[in-house]
Structure formats: C-alpha cells, structure tokens
Structure 1
Amino acid sequence: MTTDSDAMMDGADLATFLTGKLCHDFISPAGAIASGLDLMKDPSAQDMRDEAMGLIEASSEKLIALINFARVAYGAATTAERFRSDDLKPLAESVFKGARASLDWRVDPQEFSKPQARAFLNLVQLTGAALPGGGVAAVTAREDDGWLTLRGEADGPRARLKPEAATGLAGERLTEGLAGQWIQSYWLWRTVNDHGGTLGFTVGEDRVTLTARMPV
C-alpha cells in the first residue's frame, strides 16, 4: 500500500472519476426506461406494450437500487451518522440482483459509522465483481480490540482481480487501463486510508480476499 502523498488524487480529479463511474452505472437502466417509453408511444408497437411496461418496471427498480446504494457508498446525501447492519444488507443485496455471483451475508447485528458503511458497501460490491464466472461472495464484519475488520471472500471459478482494480486497492494512481475498472477500488482504499485504516487483498486459485481494518 502506498502512503506517498504525491500519489494521492486531489478532490477535483477524484470527483471527476467518480462522476464518470456513476453516470456509467446509471445510463443502462435509464436508457432502458427511455426505450420502454418509446415502445409505449409507438403506434406500430402496441402489441409490445406489456413487454415495454415490464422493461420500464424492471429498469426503474434497478435504477432506484443503484441510486440508494450510491447515496451511502459514494456520497453523504443522508443525515445518518450511524448505520445498522440491517440497513446495509438490502443495499448490498440490491447490487447482486441479476448477477452471476451470490451474496453470503455473514454479518451479526451491529452499527457502522458513515465511513465504515461506505467502505463496507464498496468492499462487498468489489468482492462480487471478482466473480465474473459466478460463485459466492461471503462478507463479514467483526470488531476486536478497537478495530473493525471488514472482509470479503470471493470463491468461484475464474475468481480474479482485474489489474486496474488491484492498482486501486493498493492505493496507486492509474497509469494504464480502464479508469472505470479502477476508480471504485481506489475510492475504497482512499476511504479506508483517510480514516486511519488499512486495506489489503490476496489472490489465489479461484479465490480473492479483500480485507479492510478501520478504527472503531
């Protein structure tokens, strides 16, 4: 993990990359809603109204889920300073809906600070992203000796970290590759690092493990 202050991205650049990621995440369901509405208005496609309505409903649910997730994982658009694990679980589950990987939530009832909640949701989603071929993303959160340990274990065929994600998790700025594959992992590292914690990862055969430790 790098601690060189020169490698830290300034706020404006960080906001630019995060905005790009969120726009990318939102455009697919938003575009699908627009396509469904176009079908509804097309006189020659009235036999597809039920299909169009199904597309609109499914895409609306996905968009709302992504927005609710992003409000906690990236923003501060909530006045809550503490989050219960029961509050975070549906947000975590929402980003696995329709994914090849399944979420195994192994978190006992507890509370998280806003930075801890932000870190945990990103860690959960990145654990799932490490399973392009499907598998199980098991996540845990445990307090011990004044530290909260957040862990995600991705087990499945072809479990892997993309090079850009590994770069971000190490706290390094992107020099080559796709920024969209890098920014979330860097954001996780930045969130953990800025609040006095550490972030690490290991990659083995059909397994990727992400571990963050943050002060309670």
Structure 2
Amino acid sequence: MDDRQSIDLAAMLCSRLCHDMLSPVGALSNGIELLTLETDPEMRANVMQLLEQSARISTDKLKFFRLAFGAAGGFGERVDIEEPKALIEALIADKPGITINWALAGANLAKPAVKVLLNFAQIGIDSLVRGGTLDIGAEIRNGASEIVVRAAGPKIAFDDTIGKALDGSLDRSELSSRTAAAHMIALLAEENGGGLQYARTDDALVLGAVLPESGDLIG
C-alpha cells in the first residue's frame, strides 16, 4: 500500500470514528445545555441519567476503537481475551435485541487477531438491524489464530463493498468510512500471512479468519 492509500485509509478510519462518536458526544452536549436551563429537580435527575449514559457509551466506544483501529500502546504483543470480550459486550449493552454466545479458547490472542476479532464483531452487530444472535469463537490451532463470528437474525444488512474489502477485491474508489475497517483488517491479515473469508445468506453472516502466530506480527 502506497503513502497515498495509507493516508486515505487513515482518513476514512477517522471519519468512521467521528461518525460513531457523534451521537453520544452530541447527547452529552445537549444534556449539559439542558442542565444549565432546567430547575425542576426531577427533570434535572433525568438529565443527569442521560449524561451518565452518554458518558459511558462514549468511553466504551473510545476503548473499542483504541484497540480495534489504533496502536493500543497500553497492551503488549498479546492481549488477554477478556479485554475484547468486555469491549464487545459493552457495544451491545444498549442493544437488547442482540444476544452473544462465546466460544473462546485460551487466555490470550496476538494483537492482530484481536483487531480482527473486534472488527468482525462490529460488522456482525451492524448487520443485525432487527436483532438476533452473535456467535463469537476464537482459538489457537496448528500455530494460527482461528476466528469466526456468525451473525444470525430475521434481517441481515451487509453492504457488498464490505465483502469486497474483506476478500481484497475492493477498488480504491470504493474506499469509504463504511469499508475502511474491513479493508484495514484485510491488509493486516495479509501482512501477517493470513486471510479472511465470509459467507452470507438471507438470515446469517459468517466471518472467518486465520492468522499465523509465528513470525514478526504486525499490528
């Protein structure tokens, strides 16, 4: 990937982050404005509840993006499996229509595998527009991290360009804030000697990845 493509990808990832943060941060701003105007104790209590909720959502999203997109310098080369698990559970805390089933083997994963796991989960959550089930599995087998995320529900929303980003066939003109995360993990998997795949039906989306554990991991 040349410098121009790297800049474009970074810009699109920033756009995605800003898009996802706009709602909770906007709610914080609105809540603070209401708090300065409202005098009724009950209404002020409701506003405080809104502020607490928006602050929690903002914090959870920032923690997620830090590890899913960023360098995540606070972590070593391997990440405790409970870290991505907690981040994903926080993402669906306000989505009662989505249920997660976990199948995680081992105490930790390499950082590139964690990035893939988090981004797969985000894609799966985004696809469940009417709720459903998210099955998330990860294990180390034969010297490689194997990751699978299956989203199943009454309606699956999945843009074909995200699929093209995952399989490496995305045209440069199709890179956007919507496809940037999938494009990033496809590059990450390739740089680490692995690969991604996906399959979609009317009621399910399955995302899979294999990333070798050996060698100098990038991510």
What TM-score does the superposition give when structure 1 sets the normalisation length? 0.89
User: After the TM superposition, which residues 3-82 of structure 1 pair with which residues of structure 2 at under 5 Å, given as runs?
Assistant: 10-43=5-38, 48-81=43-76, 82=78
The alpha-carbon deviation at position 97 of structure 1 amounts to 1.6
Alpha-carbon spacing, 1:34–1:160, altered in 2? closer, same or farther (3 Å):
closer
The alpha-carbon deviation at position 135 of structure 1 amounts to 0.6
The alpha-carbon deviation at position 69 of structure 1 amounts to 0.7
Deviations 1:61-90 (A, max 9, x none): 000000111111111132322111122210
Query: What is aligned with 1:205?
Result: 202
What TM-score does the superposition give when structure 2 sets the normalisation length? 0.88
Runs ≥4 residues deviating over 4 A: 43-47
Q: In structure 2, how many angstroms separate the alpha carbons of the residues matched to 1:103 and 1:57?
A: 25
Deviations 1:39-76 (A, max 9, x none): 10015666521121111000000000001111111111
State whether residues 102 and 128 of structure 1, in contact with CA within 8 Å, keep that contact through their aligned partners in structure 2: no
Q: In structure 1, how many angstroms separate the alpha carbons of the residues matched to 2:110 and 2:211?
A: 10
State whether residues 168 and 189 of structure 1, in contact with CA within 8 Å, keep that contact through their aligned partners in structure 2: yes
2:157 is the alignment partner of 1:164:
no
Alpha-carbon spacing, 1:58–1:117, altered in 2? closer, same or farther (3 Å):
same
Deviations 1:97-142 (A, max 9, x none): 2123222121123211111111111111212222111110101012
2:141 is the alignment partner of 1:144:
yes
Identity of aligned residues (%): 27
Q: In structure 1, how many angstroms separate the alpha carbons of the residues matched to 2:90 and 2:186?
A: 23
What RMSD, in angstroms, separates the aligned Cα atoms of the two structures? 2.1
Query: What is aligned with 1:189?
Result: 186
Tell me which amino acid in the other structure corresponds to 2:91: V
State whether residues 40 and 46 of structure 1, in contact with CA within 8 Å, keep that contact through their aligned partners in structure 2: no
Q: In structure 1, how many angstroms separate the alpha carbons of the residues matched to 2:90 and 2:207?
A: 20
Give the secondary structure class of the aligned counterpart of 1:76: coil
